[in-house]
């Protein structure tokens, strides 16, 4: 289908309605219509498996489902059945439900490196709780974040370090410092410079600086870099970070929002055999249902409880954190991952997709410009211009062609619901998009193929 014939009139009207009532037109900035080509931001009607349908009646093969949260595919039967059982039994009570016991037992059996767990709804809930707990147990004010990782929380201690820092007091931002991933010497220098001031080191144990709308052109807090990827940490790096944290008396926190389940059922910590003091999980944990988890060593976690003699820590207290249907969804997800070998399937699907996209791009002469990066279960892509620099304009061209071909792909992050036919179709559409990409490169100007403004980074100072 030619993009000039691909129109989304109902979605366009719905987007106007969204912006009239909801700041940003979406409840997550990464889902905003500024992340998509102008007038080509589909509004979703429903989804099943690896496919979604928009309100204009178009069907898409979907990647990055629910910002990586729907890793089993939409409306997964085992998850939906578990949720339905709880809906008829009530979802929230004045005292803990037995489901909370079962969910905690299941989680701690799945992530045996943790000794206690507390559930919440969002990733930011638990990363901020981890930071607060680290500050409480160490008595120190500063937070050291990995500056190469794009996102940790919507709360002030992180958002103040981004270009969207309006509303965050400078005094708060000054308490957050950054260290580079993979550089133990630089991290030790930071800990020495702020001796006895750093409460915690928080990072994704493995990951990437995402070449996506949020960071393809915009430098992240630490520096201005091009898009990078990282499948595995350098051997010895995480163990070295563990030793540094111990020696300097700070808490080591692994943000496993992305690596949890996609790297292994027990997260990256289960794969790399390095135990953090605290870790946070979300996204894939509920297959789209709202559930997150803060887990860690009993000595620390219990400080947020009732059975100790020290000062109490307000760790997490959420009205909806223990909704029974979300916890049931999490248990079903964990069971499905273990029994059906989902992590291995995600890797196999991602490897097949990456190979196909790379071959298609090379075949059209743009193999150095459309670049697939990351671990097979967590693929992203970079769109580079004629000088091989990250380009939002070329990203726009690429996304327009994918959408017109029935592929909704802000990333190439796979779900286990994809089939071989979906991968083959995606590769065909990518090849068609790359043919147009080559024309734009030859002209040294993608503008004629944009049909509107380019997509924008999420983190930017001005609207």
DSSP string across 268-287: HHHHHT---SEEEE-GGGGT
pTM: 0.93
Q: What is the pLDDT of residue 210?
A: 44
Residues 410, 333, single domain; the answer is no
Q: Please report which helix (H) or strand (E) contains residue 372, including its range.
A: strand 370-373
Q: Is residue 182 in some structural domain?
A: yes
**Strand ranges (DSSP E) for 133-262?**
142-146, 176-179, 198-203, 251-255
Q: Please report which helix (H) or strand (E) contains residue 51, including its range.
A: strand 51-54
Q: Is residue 263 in some structural domain?
A: yes
DSSP state of 27: S
Residues 297, 245, single domain; the answer is yes
**Residue 323's CB: how many other CB atoms inside 10 A?**
22
Residues 282, 424, single domain; the answer is no
Angle at 119 between CA 116 and CA 121, to 5 degrees: 160
Structure tokens at 261: 């389940």
Among 319, 340, 361, the domain-final residue is: 340
One digit per residue, the tens of pLDDT, for the chain of length 463 reads 344 579 999 999 999 999 999 999 999 999 999 999 999 999 999 999 999 999 999 999 999 999 999 999 999 999 999 999 999 999 999 999 999 999 999 999 999 999 999 999 999 999 999 999 999 999 999 999 999 999 999 999 999 999 999 999 999 999 999 999 999 999 999 999 999 999 999 999 996 544 433 333 222 333 222 333 447 899 999 999 999 999 999 999 999 999 999 999 999 999 999 999 999 999 999 999 999 999 999 999 999 999 998 899 999 999 999 999 999 999 999 999 999 999 999 999 999 999 999 999 999 999 999 999 999 999 999 999 999 999 999 999 999 999 999 999 999 999 999 999 999 999 999 999 999 999 999 999 999 999 999 999 998 888 8
CB-based contacts of 17, cutoff 8 Å, min separation 6: none
Residues 350, 336, single domain; the answer is no
Angle at 206 between CA 232 and CA 52, to 5 degrees: 105
Q: Is residue 67 in some structural domain?
A: no
Residue located via tokens 């949260």: 69
Among 340, 362, 391, the domain-final residue is: 340
Contact 251, 200 (CB under 8 A): yes
193: domain range? 77-340
């Amino acid at each position: 289908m030619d993009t000039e014939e691909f129109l989304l009139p109902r979605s366009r009207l719905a987007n106007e309605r969204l912006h009239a009532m909801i700041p940003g037109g979406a409840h997550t900035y990464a889902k905003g219509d500024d992340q998509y080509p102008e007038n080509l931001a589909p509004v979703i009607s429903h989804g099943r498996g690896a496919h979604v349908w928009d309100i204009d009646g178009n069907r898409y093969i979907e990647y990055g489902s629910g910002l990586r949260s729907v890793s089993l595919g939409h409306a997964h039967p085992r998850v939906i059945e578990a949720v339905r059982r709880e809906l008829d039994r009530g979802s929230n009570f004045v005292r803990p439900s037995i489901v909370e016991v079962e969910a905690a037992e299941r989680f701690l059996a799945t992530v045996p490196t943790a000794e206690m767990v507390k559930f919440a709804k969002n990733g930011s809930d638990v990363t901020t709780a981890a930071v607060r707990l680290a500050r409480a147990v160490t008595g120190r004010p500063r937070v050291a974040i990995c500056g190469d990782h794009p996102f940790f929380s919507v709360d002030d201690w992180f958002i103040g370090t981004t270009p969207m820092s309006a509303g965050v007091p400078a005094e708060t931002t000054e308490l957050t410092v950054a260290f580079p991933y993979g550089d133990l010497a630089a991290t030790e220098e930071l800990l020495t410079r702020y001796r006895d001031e750093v409460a915690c080191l928080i990072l994704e144990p493995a990951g990437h600086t995402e070449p996506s709308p949020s960071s393809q052109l915009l430098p992240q807090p630490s520096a201005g870099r091009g898009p990078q990827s990282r499948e595995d940490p350098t051997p010895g790096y995480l163990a070295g970070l563990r030793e540094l944290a111990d020696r300097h008396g700070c808490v080591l926190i692994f943000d496993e929002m992305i690596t949890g389940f996609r790297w292994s059922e027990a997260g990256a910590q289960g794969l790399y055999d390095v135990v953090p003091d605290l870790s946070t999980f979300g996204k894939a944990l509920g297959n789209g249902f709202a559930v997150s988890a803060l887990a860690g060593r009993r000595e620390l976690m219990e400080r947020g409880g009732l059975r100790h003699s020290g000062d109490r820590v307000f760790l997490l207290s959420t009205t909806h954190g223990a909704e029974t249907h979300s916890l049931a969804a999490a248990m079903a997800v964990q069971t499905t991952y273990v029994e059906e070998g989902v992590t291995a399937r995600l890797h196999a699907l991602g490897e097949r997709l990456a190979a196909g996209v790379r071959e298609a791009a090379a075949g059209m002469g743009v193999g150095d410009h459309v670049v697939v990066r990351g671990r097979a279960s967590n693929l992203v892509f970079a769109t580079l211009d004629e000088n091989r620099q990250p380009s939002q304009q070329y990203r726009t061209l690429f996304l327009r062609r994918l959408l017109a071909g029935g592929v909704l792909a802000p990333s190439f992050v796979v779900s286990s619901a994809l089939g071989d036919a979906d991968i083959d179709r995606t590769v065909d559409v990518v090849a068609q998009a790359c043919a147009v990409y080559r024309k734009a490169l030859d002209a040294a100007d993608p503008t004629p193929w944009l049909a509107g403004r380019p997509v924008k980074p999420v983190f930017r100072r001005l609207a």
